[in-house]
Amino acid sequence: KNEVEQSPQNLTAQEGEFITINCSYSVGISALHWLQQHPGGGIVSLFMLSSGKKKHGRLIATINIQEKHSSLHITASHPRDSAVYICAVSIDNAGNMLTFGEGTRLMVKP
């Protein structure tokens, strides 16, 4: 069993839909990261959080430390949101070492 599990693996949505991607982890963490990878490969950090909730534009990330669970929400989804979303956790106190989920491939259709 992976230390970081994401669901769903693949997700297709219609433009405008509200999207939720889930991440569960089984180890103690110092922080959790949500990353976005567009076709072509480059990865961009969306959020880093250790408690509560963060919002950036149409993206919201939440984390429940007790339940070892995080969600990434996209409101009013758009085709340009189509990407792979990766959950990663920092497992060391310095935050240097990341353990990654396998990613969720999202396609938003117009």
> Binding residues for other proteins, per CB under 8 A?
2, 30-31, 33, 35, 40-45, 48, 86, 88, 90, 94-98, 100-103
**Terminal-to-terminal C-alpha distance of the chain:** 36
Q: Which residue has the tokens 């929400």?
A: 73
d(CA 51, CA 38): 27
**Between 5 and 17, whose beta carbon lies closer to other proteins?**
5
Q: Name 57's Cβ contacts closer than 8 Å, sequence gap at least 6.
A: none
Nearer to other proteins, 58 or 95 (CB): 95
Determine if the peptide bond prior to 39 is cis (ω within 30°): no
- Give the nearest distance from C-beta 11 to other proteins in angstroms: 17
| Minimum CB distance to other proteins smaller for 80 or for 94 | 94
Question: What minimum distance in Å lies between the beta carbon of 65 and other proteins?
Answer: 15
Smallest gap from Cβ 78 to other proteins, in A, equals: 22
Nearer to other proteins, 14 or 96 (CB): 96
Q: Rounded to whole angstroms, how far apart are CA atoms 63 and 92? A: 18
